[in-house]
């Protein structure tokens, strides 16, 4: 079986050259699938691996727009429609200069397993653009979003593909995208999630990813008879996911001592709490791409060009971006006594870093399980839109918490069933995979 997996992986690398992030995401999943393929020879005969790595469809398009000085700018737009075996394509849009097809394919691939774990009927997709929101005016962002949607609208729909936010795409961008969609189609529907709360958005969706990460971390800690009360926590990033995570860590009695940005990290031993959490929203809205102003405002230490993993903490929550925590960072965390690493971002830890955590026997959970609360709450937003009935905050939060507890239980039980107890990575990959693979079998050769 190992040879079969290796063979498909080499084909993926050969057929998709120059896509290192996509190769990494596929390898990380494939490395854990041997036991399930041995137990289910039907997956191999139906070529499920070969099929699951091939996006059902990719749309690439030109996005022309005019900046405030009247200059014409051209960006590239993408939507990767990865897998619709268990529901309409679902996944975020990322606006960041680092966006390439490789990044979006890795994210869309991860989304297959994540969305499957949520227990909701959500297929997988991802999209975005190499547009750089940094330093852009509100009008420029609006014109860009309108141009982006002028092409995208014909490829999406409530039962076809439902995009949402990701890096660089928050409520403001979803608003401009939705406005243009409505203008082009004359339909007011739930085609995007993460909408404004007064026009169809779900309560708790802005906080959901970060809240979910922390609910998941709490479940992990319970397996070692402890919890977040009194724990020192390192968070990276200062965006949407980091913000939600910081709020929830505070509520559960932990203390967050770091935040980070592309410019470096902040160390605040007094804890990121109260008005400091609100300041995170200002930092993000300023579109300056820097976390340094936090250190200046609250007299915390700032480490230029460094990452927060050298600080002694009990729990680490990487919430910024892919490959932001490498093997050396992982060794440093373990050496300093960290007992739990729960991924808020998608694939923030390199393959070598994950190996360090697994070998050290500390708690480690991949983003596809731990950050699934965001897309799960998007799924709840879709339900509310279909019913045309908003749910109160408490109801959404209770459902979110239950979903995260279910995902945790599924990971633990699946890992045990397949002979790798305590391995959340294998548990998440196998459980996510089996559901989608079975749906693909049921639906014939499509
Ligand atoms: P935001 O745009 O709100 O924040 C992104 C954060 O990451 C910012 O702090 C950003 O800084 C930082 N960042 C981005 N690129 C880099 C880089 N190359 N180097 C260092 N820091 C960087 O995005 P989100 O909080 O929504 O997303 C964060 C992570 O969580 C991503 O991996 C995303 O895929 C994942 N995620 C998001 C979900 C959601 O619902 N929003 C759901 C599940 C996962 P700056 O913007 O200044 O560059
Ligand atoms: O990575 C992710 O799961 C997201 N960016 C959220 C996707 C969604 O559709 O809510």
- Average pLDDT rounded to a whole number, residues 422-441: 98
Instruction: Examine the fold and report which residue of 316, 350, 370 is the final residue of a domain before the chain moves on.
Output: 370
Total domain count, the chain: 2
The 8-class DSSP code of residue 352 comes to H
Q: Which residue has the tokens 């006594």?
A: 337
Handedness of CA 273, 277, 283, 289 (dihedral sign): positive
List ligand 1's pocket residues with C-beta within 6 A: 92, 96, 98, 165-168, 209, 237-241, 261-262, 284, 289, 319-321, 344-346, 371, 374
Nearest CA to ligand 1 atom 28: 320
Structure tokens at 421: 């107890």
For the question of residue 126 being annotated catalytic, the response is yes
State whether 240 and 291 are in the same domain: yes
Q: Does residue 417 belong to any structural domain of this protein?
A: no
Dist. CA 346–CA 413, nearest whole Å: 23
To test ligand 1's pocket by mutation, which of 25, 92, 110, 241 has the most ligand atoms within 8 angstroms of CB? 241
C-alpha of residue 442 to centroid of ligand 1, in Å: 36
- Determine how many CB atoms are found less than 10 A away from the CB of residue 147: 23
Cα-only R_g, the chain: 21
Structure tokens at 322: 């892919």
Return the pLDDT at 139. 98
Q: Which of 160, 216, 168, 232 is nearest to 192 (CA)?
A: 160
Work out whether strand 264-267 and strand 255-261 pair parallel, antiparallel, or are unpaired.
antiparallel
Structure tokens at 353: 């870093």
Return the pLDDT at 48. 98
Q: Does residue 74 belong to any structural domain of this protein?
A: yes
- Determine how many CB atoms are found less than 10 A away from the CB of residue 385: 22
Q: What is the CATH number of the domain that holds 96?
A: 3.40.50.10860
Atom of ligand 1 nearest to the CA of 170: 3
Q: Does residue 219 belong to any structural domain of this protein?
A: yes
DSSP-assigned states of every residue in 119-155: TS---EEEEEES---TT--HHHHHHHHHHHHHHHGGG
C-alpha to C-alpha distances, 155 to 80, 91, 96, 191, 436, nearest whole angstrom: 11, 14, 22, 11, 23
State whether 294 and 177 are in the same domain: no
State whether 312 and 280 are in the same domain: yes
Domain region containing 128: 55-190
The 8-class DSSP code of residue 98 comes to T
Instruction: Examine the fold and report which residue of 339, 370, 401 is the final residue of a domain before the chain moves on.
Output: 370
Structure tokens at 179: 């406005």
Residues 6+ apart with CB under 8 A from 212: 370, 371, 372, 373, 374, 376, 377, 400, 403, 404
Three-class SS of residue 373? helix
State whether 222 and 313 are in the same domain: yes
- Active-site position among 90, 114, 126, 368: 126
State whether 216 and 284 are in the same domain: yes
State whether 81 and 161 are in the same domain: yes
Q: Does residue 239 belong to any structural domain of this protein?
A: yes
State whether 75 and 223 are in the same domain: no
State whether 305 and 178 are in the same domain: no
At residue 266 the predicted structure's pLDDT band, cuts being 50, 70 and 90, is: very high
Supply the pTM of this predicted model.
Answer: 0.97
- HEC string for 233-265: EEECCCCHHHHHHHHHHHHCCCEEEEEEECCEE
% of the chain surpassing 90 pLDDT: 98
State whether 352 and 233 are in the same domain: yes
Residue 289 has pLDDT above 90, yes or no: no
State whether 277 and 319 are in the same domain: yes
Q: Which of 345, 368, 351, 367 is nearest to 433 (CA)?
A: 368
Three-class SS of residue 190? coil
- Average pLDDT rounded to a whole number, residues 179-185: 98
Instruction: Examine the fold and report which residue of 314, 344, 370 is the final residue of a domain before the chain moves on.
Output: 370
Dist. CA 238–CA 324, nearest whole Å: 14
Q: Does residue 380 belong to any structural domain of this protein?
A: no
Ligand 2 site, residue 435, Cβ cutoff 6 A: no
At residue 21 the predicted structure's pLDDT band, cuts being 50, 70 and 90, is: very high
State whether 104 and 237 are in the same domain: no
Dist. CA 100–CA 365, nearest whole Å: 26
The 8-class DSSP code of residue 212 comes to H
Q: Does residue 387 belong to any structural domain of this protein?
A: no
Nearest CA to ligand 1 atom 33: 345
Q: What are the tens digits of pLDDT across the range 36-94?
A: 999 999 999 999 999 999 999 999 999 999 999 999 999 999 999 999 999 999 999 99
The ligand placed nearest to the CA atom of residue 305 is 1
Q: Does residue 383 belong to any structural domain of this protein?
A: no
Dist. CA 79–CA 97, nearest whole Å: 16
Q: Does residue 294 belong to any structural domain of this protein?
A: yes
Instruction: Classify 128 in phi/psi space as left (phi over 0), alpha (psi -120 to 50) or beta.
Output: left
Q: What is the CATH number of the domain that holds 289?
A: 3.40.50.720
At residue 288 the predicted structure's pLDDT band, cuts being 50, 70 and 90, is: confident
At residue 285 the predicted structure's pLDDT band, cuts being 50, 70 and 90, is: confident
Q: Are 100 and 51 in contact (CB under 8 A)?
A: no
State whether 331 and 282 are in the same domain: yes
Mean pLDDT of the chain, nearest integer:
97
Q: Which residue has the tokens 């002979």?
A: 419
Beta bridge partners of 65: 73
Atom of ligand 2 nearest to the CA of 377: 10
């Amino acid at each position: 079986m190992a040879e079969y997996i290796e063979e498909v992986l080499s084909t993926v690398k050969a057929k998709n050259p120059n896509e290192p992030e996509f190769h990494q995401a596929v390898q990380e999943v494939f490395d854990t699938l041997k036991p399930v393929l041995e137990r289910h020879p039907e997956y191999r005969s139906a070529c499920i691996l070969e099929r699951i790595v091939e996006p059902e469809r990719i749309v690439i398009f030109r996005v022309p727009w005019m900046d405030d000085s009247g200059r014409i700018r051209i960006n590239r737009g993408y939507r990767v429609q990865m897998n619709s075996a268990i529901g309409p394509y679902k996944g975020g849009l990322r606006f960041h200069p680092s966006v390439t097809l490789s990044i979006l394919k890795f994210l869309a691939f991860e989304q297959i397993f994540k969305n499957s774990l949520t227990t909701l009927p959500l297929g997988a997709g991802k999209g975005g653009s190499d547009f750089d929101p940094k330093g852009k005016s509100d009008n420029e962002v609006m014109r860009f979003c309108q141009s982006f949607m002028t092409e995208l609208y014909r490829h999406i729909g409530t039962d076809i593909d439902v995009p949402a936010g990701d890096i660089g795409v928050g409520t403001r961008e979803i608003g401009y995208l939705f406005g243009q969609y409505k203008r082009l189609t004359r339909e007011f529907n739930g085609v995007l999630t993460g909408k404004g709360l007064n026009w169809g958005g779900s309560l708790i969706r802005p906080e959901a990813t970060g809240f979910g990460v922390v609910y998941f971390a709490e479940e992990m800690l319970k397996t070692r008879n402890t919890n977040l009360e009194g724990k020192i926590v390192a968070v990276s990033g200062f965006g949407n996911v980091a913000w939600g995570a910081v709020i929830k860590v505070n509520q559960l009695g932990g203390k967050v001592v770091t935040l980070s940005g592309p410019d470096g990290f902040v160390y605040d031993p007094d804890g990121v709490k109260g008005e400091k959490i609100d300041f995170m929203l200002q930092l993000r809205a300023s579109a300056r791409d820097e976390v340094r102003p936090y250190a200046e405002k609250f007299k915390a230490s700032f480490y230029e060009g460094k990452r927060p993993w050298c600080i002694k903490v009990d729990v680490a929550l990487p919430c910024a971006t892919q490959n932001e925590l490498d093997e050396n960072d992982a060794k440093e965390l373990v050496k300093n006594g960290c007992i739990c690493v729960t991924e808020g971002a998608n694939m923030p830890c390199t393959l070598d870093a994950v190996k360090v955590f697994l070998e050290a026997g500390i708690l480690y959970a991949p983003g596809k399980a731990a950050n699934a609360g965001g897309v799960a709450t998007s799924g709840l937003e879709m339900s509310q839109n279909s019913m045309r009935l908003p749910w109160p905050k408490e109801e959404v939060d209770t459902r979110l918490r239950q979903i995260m507890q279910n995902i945790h239980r599924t990971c633990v039980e699946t890992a045990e069933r397949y002979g790798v107890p305590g391995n959340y990575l294998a548990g998440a990959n196998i459980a996510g995979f089996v559901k989608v693979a079975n749906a693909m079998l049921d639906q014939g050769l499509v």
